[in-house]
Amino acid sequence: GDSVTQMEGPVTLSEEAFLTINCTYTATGYPSLFWYVQYPGEGLQLLLKATKADDKGSNKGFEATYRKETTSFHLEKGSVQVSDSAVYFCALEPRDDKIIFGKGTRLHILP
């Protein structure tokens, strides 16, 4: 069945470091892909999305490109801040309207 695999955390970086969180997926057809972020004590918020191959989603300095050939949607940011500390979830939506989430990657940014 459809699934999402993302790198396990926690990931610990210093402020201003480059961030990559890997995400790969398995799906039939052409799903939409998402990154959600969960700040401590809160629900998830949509960070960015891509709905077709080669689309690049971007928001708040984060980017991810929908790569159909490698079935990947890696999250990147050029210079992280302490305020980026959170849990990041990769997700896909097949055409049956049910969103499938990865297990989440906890990110710690040290000042």
Partner 1 sequence: NAGVTQTPKFQVLKTGQSMTLQCAQDMNHEYMSWYRQDPGMGLRLIHYSVGAGITDQGEVPNGYNVSRSTTEDFPLRLLSAAPSQTSVYFCASRDGGSYEQYFGPGTRLTVT
Kindly tell me which of 29 and 43 has the beta carbon lying closer to partner 1. Answer: 43
Chain-centre distance for alpha carbon 93: 13
Smallest distance from the beta carbon of 84 to partner 1, in angstroms? 19
d(CA 106, CA 85): 8
Smallest distance from the beta carbon of 19 to partner 1, in angstroms? 20
d(CA 14, CA 33): 28
Residues paired with 57 in a beta bridge: 64
Binding interface with partner 1 (CB under 8 A):
32, 34, 36, 41-46, 49, 51, 89, 93, 97-104
Kindly tell me which of 17 and 38 has the beta carbon lying closer to partner 1. Answer: 38
